Amino acid sequence: MNYSQLQYFLTLSETLHFTHAAQLLYISQPSLSVAISNLEEELGVPLFERSGRHVVLTEYGKVFGAYVSKSMHELQQGIQHLNIMKEKMSETLRIGFLYSLSSQFIPEIVAGYKKGAPKIHFDLFESDTATAECTIELLDGLKHGRFDLVFINRILRDDKDLKFIKVFEQNYVAVVCETSLLSQNQSIDLNDTIGIPLIQYKRKFGTKAEINSLFESIGCPFEVGAELEDESSIINYVKRDLGFAILPYSENLEQPGVTVLEIHNPQFVRSIYVGYNKIKHENVTVKHFIDWICNHLSV
C-alpha cells in the first residue's frame, strides 16, 4: 500500500466512475483499475461494487474511506507544516559573541550549520573592548531582541526570560615576548611573573576582573605596565617586550613575536554558554540552531 493507491481510492470513491477518476488523476483507466484491484487484494476485502465503469462503495469501502480521508488530511497538514518550516529556515540568525571566539569557534559553527541550512543568513556581532560592548551589553541585547543568541562567559541565573546552556570551556593563557626568559617555559606559575609588568585591558569589563582574580586567588601581586583598549594593542606591547598579558585563548594569539604559555598555577578555565530568550525560542530557526549546537558539541 502506498500514497498513490490511497489517492486513487479517494478519488474513485468521490467520483464513483473509473473514467472520470482516471482523468482527474492523469492516468489511464486500466492503470487505475489495476491499482484498485491490487489494493483490494492487499486488504483482503472488496472496496467497490462494479457496474461497468460505474462503482459504488461497499461497507468495507465506506469504513476504509473514512480512515483514509482523515489520514490524507493529516498528511497534507504535515506537508504544509514542513513547507512553512522550510520558509522560516530561510531566515537570519543574529548572534552576539565574545571577541575571543571570533577566530575559531564562530567560523566553525557557522560553516558547519550552513552545510545543512544553506539559506540561513548570519548577522554576527563581535563584542570587544574597542566597541565598548561586553557581556552586560550582549545580555541586554538578547533580552530586548537585538540578538537571537549570544555566546558569553557570564550569565544571569535569576532572569526567567533567558536560558543558558554551557557549550565548552576556554582556558586563560599567558602571552609573552618570544625573546623573554618566560618564553622558554612550557607553562608558568603566575608567581613567576612577579616584577614583570602586566599589559591589561583599559576598561573594567568582565574579562579584566577575571584576570585580576587569577592573581588574587594565589595572593600574587602584579604590576600593571599599561592599560589598553583592545587585544591587538596588548599583543603589540608584548611583542616589544614591554610586559606580558593574560588573555582567554584563541588562535588569534598565535602570532610571530609572541609565545603562548599554559598557566598551571592557578588552574582556571572559564565556561562559555549559549544564551537565548525563551520567548523567542519558539522561532523554528533559533530552536533548530540550538539543537544543532548541542548535538555538534555533544552538550
pLDDT per residue over 134-160, tens digit each? 677 888 889 888 999 999 887 777 778
pLDDT per residue over 29-88, tens digit each? 999 999 999 999 999 999 999 887 789 999 999 999 999 999 988 998 888 887 776 665
pLDDT per residue over 267-293, tens digit each? 888 889 999 988 766 678 888 899 999
At 208, give phi and psi (nearest 5°).
-65, -40
CA distance 136 to 154: 9
Using only the alpha carbons of the chain, give its radius of gyration: 32
pLDDT per residue over 206-216, tens digit each? 678 888 889 99
Q: Are residues 162 and 178 in the same domain?
A: no
Domain count, the chain: 3
DSSP label at 202? S
Q: Are residues 110 and 241 in the same domain?
A: no
* Nine cell digits for residue 272: 562559555
* Nine cell digits for residue 196: 614583570
User: What CATH code is carried by the domain that includes residue 60?
Assistant: 1.10.10.10
User: What CATH code is carried by the domain that includes residue 94?
Assistant: 3.40.190.10
Give the CA angle between residues 87, 88, 90 to the nearest 5°: 70
Q: Are residues 175 and 266 in the same domain?
A: yes
Q: Are residues 159 and 177 in the same domain?
A: no
* Nine cell digits for residue 281: 525560542
Residues 6+ apart with CB under 8 A from 215: 190, 221, 222
Q: Are residues 278 and 132 in the same domain?
A: yes
pLDDT over 70 (residue 131): no
Q: Are residues 81 and 199 in the same domain?
A: no
What pLDDT does 280 receive? 64
Q: Are residues 159 and 174 in the same domain?
A: no
Q: Are residues 163 and 176 in the same domain?
A: no
Share of the chain above pLDDT 70, in %: 93
Domain range for residue 282? 89-168+271-296
DSSP label at 244? B
Residue with cell string 482527474: 24
* Mean pLDDT along residues 246-263: 92
